[in-house]
Amino acid sequence: ETGVTQSPTHLIKTRGQQVTLRCSSQSGHNTVSWYQQALGQGPQFIFQYYREEENGRGNFPPRFSGLQFPNYSSELNVNALELDDSALYLCASSSVKRHEQFFGPGTRLTVL
Amino acid sequence: QKEVEQDPGPLSVPEGAIVSLNCTYSNSAFQYFMWYRQYSRKGPELLMYTYSSGNKEDGRFTAQVDKSSKYISLFIRDSQPSDSATYLCATEDTDKLIFGTGTRLQVFP
């Protein structure tokens, strides 16, 4: 069984740029959720995708957007990067048991 | 008031000690409660979850939920240096997870 994978591991961008982060869900999981974890904080829910549709969104502006593909992998896109977007971005996959979410290793984004 | 509150620590204990990690939550409608372990610069790892009130045991770990006081706990018996990590409590609200800030635990030999 393959776990959740994310790419890239690290990323450095400058303010105003755009970034795309990628996630492959665990085998058998059809739901992907994205979280942002600032240093010293717990993960904050960005949004969730189920069957290629957004299925819930947290308190994040529209410049955070996403996609889910037919193979259940997903992308997180962030436009017009701000310094406060520097964080660990986590992807989690789940099946029908939405409370059982399994996380990938994360992508560490630094915005300069 | 935050939906899930957790003491950030750090908590430092000697090897072999019993560790108690705690969280409180605000919404009595929450039903699922999870504990995650996160090593430095890694993603959170699901340790266990509990539904509603009661206890759940898995090896050295016991999760406890008291819905009357909106209090959740994780106990670690015979703690090991390899248990040194940040422990995150979480609850589930319409398919999304709501996390506490995490408690940093250090177990020294």
Q: What is the pLDDT of residues A62-74, one digit of tens each?
A: 999 999 999 999 9
B101: nearest CA in chain A? A42
Chain B: nearest CA to A54, how far in angstroms? Answer: 12
pLDDT reported for residue A112? 97
Chain A: nearest CA to B76, how far in angstroms? Answer: 21
pLDDT reported for residue B41? 85
* C-alpha to C-alpha distance for B12 and B85, rounded to whole angstroms: 11
Could you read off the pLDDT of B78-108 as tens digits, one per residue? 999 999 999 999 999 988 999 999 999 999 9
A99: nearest CA in chain B? B92
pLDDT reported for residue B54? 85
Q: What is the DSSP string of chain B?
A: --SEEE----EEEETT--EEEEEEES-TT--EEEEEEE-TTS--EEEEEEESSEEEEETTEEEEEETTTTEEEEEESS--GGG-EEEEEEEEETTEEEE---EEEEEE-
pLDDT reported for residue A38? 96
Average pLDDT, chain B: 94
Determine how β-strand B11-14 pairs with β-strand B103-108. parallel
Selecting from B92, B95, B99 the residue whose C-beta is nearest the C-beta of A55 gives: B95
* C-alpha to C-alpha distance for B61 and B13, rounded to whole angstroms: 16
Q: Which of B45, B65, B95, B99 to mutate to test the interface with A (most CBs of A within 10 A)?
A: B95
Could you read off the pLDDT of A2-17 as tens digits, one per residue? 699 999 999 999 999 9
